[in-house]
Structure 1
């Protein structure tokens, strides 16, 4: 198992397939000038599948989520999904995407073995989308969501970040739209992972702000049962069956129950989204290390995981890598 000194067991693996993206969201990337990882530094398709196999068969991982950057830009994505779906025991496979390429790939991904998707969409207004993402692709995301739903990649989850001065008033509209289309909406607090390091705690829209806005139109009932390691706090909308989630990484951290381990596109293990340290698996992999040695390195890295992200500490320093290079 991937266990740390606090007794937490990592069963959820986030695999970044690329640091590249076809959007330039203001809270993630600058409009220009971001250097991409060199192709020789990226793990190959075969290396990714091998490390996922080690995680699943030797380290107790039961869920694998493919992220980016934008993972749909990875040419070998369908093949990677297919090989990971064939592992024994079979892990649950999901994908976090901006949705732009889902219209043409959703059916193939479902056939390859993908179970579900999370799609990022912050606004229902095309002009606001263009401002936030610096690209005019709003209709493509809506088409991708519809294709994912039609292909059976359900529940289709929609991730939204609210930004002051842009879409701060859209929470109720987004939820009404998600309920009407049978999507599960999750609001995510803006996190300090932008490449330009422009994040500020002051003025950010908090989980509390989001819930207060939603309650102006909906009755929210906290979902019964243990939250467990789920990052989102979930509420039934007007008695159900639809739900809405809020991920308060900054103001309502859930580190004590964290069950995640992360693999970057260039083969580094990260124990936390906000970690400042990484452990190199790629070097061992390419030097001929057997699976047992790769598993040992991974276990040792996770054993040293810190108690929390440190976001609630005034001395917190943002990681050097942006979200696009870490993997969501």
Structure 2
């Protein structure tokens, strides 16, 4: 593998790229309404990258300037021995942080082993604090298991645990204040996410709407600085131990500061979450290309990273969220 001191990686729009999201599987033990459409067309095992192949791509990119890795799915914890992959990635020079986004259903069982393997922190998707509604949104999920997983992650030292809430109009937008109060009563770190319109003309609750709801019902949101490599802006309510983050891909496009790449489970380098242009790395990895040749292909692709998504023009990706990795 290529070695040497990490450098700084830039795309064709002079944006520094230092963040790689890796989808380790397209499979999930839930089927959330905004993520899948009920289809069960999972990739066969031979179609997804091995841990060695994932690590090879990560190593090349780490040598180019990637320093943060986030593991996603599907649900990453349904892939066997994901702790082994974490250990492999942790040993790569230049990688400063490894995190994971999970639905939390298996986290109670995995939390301690994930930390020992080298995982730094987790984000857990929780779109309702009402058990029956949670079950409906996830098409069968158990809220109690997820909450137990969050506590296990805290105990294991995977901190801060962040709770991701996709706000859906007419579905869970009446719980915005409940989640906001959770940051006061529970010390939770909640991030509200505008629902991305994976169908044309889909409605969305904007961050401005969310802020108005919270401040009208509870109190003024004070901006706070929180170190991270993601697009969220953070606030606190008076007397709250936890934070409230907002991610607004729809109402306030943050493409100008996009710092990330995505590696799908089947080996596609995806340059933008909401753009279907991809570089297929799997034939390169399973062929006779050298690391230097793969690095050149990566450099050429990264220079073509789109300036921004085209949601405003009604152009949405063809792939489901679980196929991309979020």
* Alignment correspondent of 1:45: 51
* 1:205-224 → structure 2 map (5 Å cutoff): 205-215=205-215, 216-223=217-224
* Aligned partner of 2:103 among 98, 102, 107: 98
Question: What does residue 5 of structure 2 align with?
Answer: none
Secondary structure of the residue aligned to 1:312 is helix
In the TM superposition, 1:18-29 aligns within 5 A as: 18-29=25-36
Deviations 1:253-291 (A, max 9, x none): 111111001100011011110112110111111002111
In the TM superposition, residue 224 of structure 1 has moved relative to its aligned partner by 5.5
Residue 325 (structure 1) aligned with residue 323 (structure 2): yes
C-alpha RMSD of the superposition? 1.7
CA contact (8 A) 1:229 1:258 kept: no
Distance 1:145 1:229 in 2: 22
TM superposition score normalised by structure 1:
0.92
* 1:1-328 equivalence runs, <5 A: 1-31=8-38, 33-56=39-62, 58-193=63-198, 197=199, 200-201=201-202, 203-215=203-215, 216-223=217-224, 230-238=230-238, 241-313=241-313, 316-328=314-326
Query: Any unmatched runs of 5+ in structure 2?
Result: 1-7
Secondary structure at the aligned position of 1:234 is classed as strand
Between the aligned partners of 2:125 and 2:304, the Cα distance in structure 1 is: 32
Shift of 1:223: 2.7
Compared CA separation, residues 240 and 181, structure 1 to 2 (3 A) = closer
Q: Give the TM-score normalised by the residue count of structure 2.
A: 0.93
Q: CA deviation at 1:179?
A: 3.5
Q: Is the 8 A contact 1:268 1:282 kept in 2?
A: yes
Aligned length: 318
In 1, Cα distance between the equivalents of 2:80 and 2:225?
41
Q: CA deviation at 1:157?
A: 0.3
Distance 1:228 1:29 in 2: 28
Contact 1:123 1:170 in 2 (8 A): yes
Cα deviation, residue 16, structure 1: 0.3
Cα pair 1:220 1:239 within 8 Å, conserved: no
Give the Cα separation in 2 of the matches to 1:309 and 1:302. 15
SS of match in other structure, 1:284: helix
Task: Show structure 1 runs of 5+ residues with no match.
Answer: none
SS in 1 for 2:174: coil
**2:4 counterpart residue number:** none
